Structure formats: structure tokens, C-alpha cells
Amino acid sequence: MKWGQLSALLGMKSMKQHIPLIGEFELTGRCNLGCKMCYMSHKIDDSKVLYKEPSAKEWIELAREARDMGMLFILLTGGEVFARSDFREIYTEISMMGLTTTIYSNGTLITPQIASWLGSRPPSQIEITLYGASQESYEKICGNGDGFHRALRGIDLLLDQGVNLQIRTTVVKDNIHEFEKMKEIAGIRGIKLGVVNYVSPRRDHLGKNYDEMRLSPKELVDLEEIHSAAQAHQVNLSEPLSEDSLNIHKELLEIGFQEDDPFPCSCGKNTFWVTWDGRMVPCSIMNKPEAYPFEEGFLSAWESLIRQCSQIPKCKECSACDLKEYCMTCPARLMNETGSYEVPASYLCQCAKERKEREGKNYENLHKTNN
């Protein structure tokens, strides 16, 4: 069975049985960078945040409980995970639990020593986020110009150790002019650049003017077109989908995404996120619903989360909208954009409208070319 088929099969079965297959652990809320579009991070020396973070022992025990309930995939993220002085202790224990581990990092705190020990027992994958392709952009976006060179150094140290590494970027107004340069940085290292194009308002609703920093709907759809065109060239078209995998995908759609389900993803079905202050939420950008795994135990918290997710209302206006197939709406985004699960978000509506118009223009252009 190929990886994609196995992954889809496990995804399908776990969603049907509400097995917590995918766990995402936000080990710290602190970060050495201060990216202005970040949905939650705090200063690296914020003692109030540090005080609230669960201990290494508590994270390890929680991972063990989740593993015993069926967790196979674990994401270790922050904040910046390497800002935790005890990260090595947490990681080492988790690496022995029979989990497939991914780490998210900004790469700037990677030293030769860290790269060496990580290379000796590597995660399945580490994803480093680039915030630009120059010191100037890092200064402007992250408040730390030196971060650019440190991130590149971290990437190269890890690659030298043979760690499976991916590079991605969050594209905002202040770095979109360097998108091609970031692709080059990844490309010369033999890596594809992953892209996060949607920037969510903070999950804690602390005010920021996101429209000043995130892409306009037109810019966002421009980027999607450029990126998807590049990705299309990398698809192996010589390998047709097997009948098995087609059936799996069909069943996934039937089981995971039923008509009354507000979530177009695995939230509340087989995925959970644990915040730096110890709350279980459906995903990285949701502040509610919440459960308390460190107080009530993993199983009780997981059951509570599933129950609460099933009670989240679906936005009626979005469901009836002609643009819904072009829209990236979901409960998390609606709540962060509008403060309600049931109110359409203007930014998402504009993006969807832009996609539909663009599709129409592309079709017209194609029609003209063919004639």
C-alpha cells in the first residue's frame, strides 16, 4: 500500500471512529521573533507565559495518553519550540513512542549541537518557515533582521545532518516582493517552497489591523495562481490513482464531510490542538471550544472536544452562497474574522469572488486561444 493510500485509509477510519490520529502540541507560546501577523506568539522572556506552560513531564505524559488512544501523527510547534530549554527532553521521549513526528520552527535557534542531536534521531520532517529573503524583510516583519541569516544557517545545519526538511513561508504585503527569491532559496537546496497564504486574525481577538499586513484578495488569488501553476508542473501524471484510492477518497468525503458538518477539515473528528497554556482546541487558530486535558485527562478532554465541535452551528448564509465552492470559509476563520460562526467574513467573500472572476477570465482566454 502506498503512503497516500495508507494515510487516506487511516484518516477515513479514524474520522469514522473518532480516534485522535493527529495531535498538535503547541509546546510554548514564546518566540524569539515577533512577527506582526502571528496569530498568538509572546516574547521569549515573558515570565507570565513561561509560568503557564505545562512542564516537560506533563507534555510527555499527555503524548503517551494520546498515543494510547491512537495518535500516530504528532506536530511539535510553538511559539518557537527551540525556545524551550527542555525541548530536547520532550522530543527524545516522544521520539520513542511510536509516533510520526513533525516539528515546526523558524530555524533561527538551531545551533550545530542541536542539529547534531536532532540528526541522530530525526523527526519524520521539520518545517522551517521563512519570513522573507533579506535582512530588511526580517527586520520589518519579525523585528529581528539577523533572523534571516540565522534561519538560513539553521536550515543548512539541519540539511547537513540529513534531516528531512521542508521550507515554507507566510506571504504578507511586506515579503510578497521576495516570493521568487524565497523560492530560489528553497530551490537551490532541492526543496519546494510551501506557502501559507491566509493570515488569520489572532485567535485571542487582541486587536491588530490585519488588512494592513495581509494580502488583499486580489494579491492572494494572484499568489494562488502562481503557486498552483508551479505545483502543477511537479505532479507525476504518469501514476494514475488506483481504484482503491479512489474508493478511499469517496468514502472520506461521505464519512468526514457530511452535509450538516460545519468543518471542511478533520477538526472534531480525528485531530486536536493543545495550546501552550494547556487547553485542547480544534485547531491552531481556534480559541474555543476548549477542553482541559492536563486537568481532566486526555480521553475526557477529547470526548468533550468532539461533543462541543458537533454543536458548532454552520453558517447558513455561507452554505447557501453561490461562491461556496470558491471559498475557504470555516468556523475558525469566521469566528476570528467576524466574532461569530454564523456571519460571513467580508475578506473571505472577496477572495471567493476574486477566484470566481479569475476562473471566468481564464476560461475566456483559453476559449480565445483555442479558437
Q: Which residues bind another protein (CB under 8 A)?
A: 1, 3, 6, 9-10, 13-14, 17, 19, 21, 70, 72, 95-100, 119-124, 162, 164
Left, alpha or beta for 98 (phi > 0: left; psi -120 to 50: alpha)?
Answer: left
CA–CA distance from 41 to each of 83, 252, 336, 349 (Å)? 12, 34, 16, 27
The maximal CA–CA distance of the chain, rounded, in angstroms, is 67
Backbone angles phi, psi at 14, to 5 degrees: -70, -35
Q: Which is nearer to another protein, 125 or 338 (CB)?
A: 125
Place of cell 504578507: 172
The least distance separating another protein from the CB of residue 1, rounded to whole angstroms, comes to: 5
Nearer to another protein, 144 or 271 (CB): 271
Shortest reach from residue 303's CB to another protein, in Å: 17
Burial 120-141 (b: 16+ CB within 10 A, else e): eebbeebbbbbbbbbeebbbbb
Cell of 262: 460545519
**Polymer length of the chain:** 371
Residue with smaller CB distance to another protein, 95 or 135: 95
Q: Which residues pair with 26 in a beta bridge?
A: 77
- CB-side neighbour CA atoms (13 Å) of 160: 14
CB nearer another protein, residue 108 or residue 161: 161
Amino acid identity of residue 304, one-letter, is S
Number of other CB atoms surrounding residue 269 within 10 Å:
26
Shortest Å, Cβ 48 to another protein? 35
Minimal distance in Å, beta carbon 312 to another protein?
24
Q: What's the closest the beta carbon of residue 17 comes to another protein, in angstroms?
A: 6
Which residue in 71, 76, 94 sits closest to 299, CA to CA? Answer: 71
Considering beta carbons, is residue 200 or 270 the nearer one to another protein? 270
Measured in degrees and rounded to the nearest 5, phi and psi for residue 226 equal: -60, -45
123 or 256: CB nearest another protein: 123
CB of 11 to another protein, least distance (A): 9
Closest approach of another protein to the CB of residue 96, in Å: 5
Q: How far apart are CA 325 and CA 356, in angstroms?
A: 9
Measuring CA to CA, how many Å separate 64 from each of 10, 22, 95, 98, 126?
A: 19, 13, 11, 10, 21
Task: Identify which of residues 98 and 240 has a Cβ nearer to another protein in the complex.
Answer: 98
Smallest gap, in angstroms, from Cβ of residue 97 to another protein?
7
Identity of the residue, 72 or 348, whose beta carbon is nearer to another protein in the bound complex: 72
Asked whether the beta carbons of 99 and 67 are under 8 A apart, the reply is yes
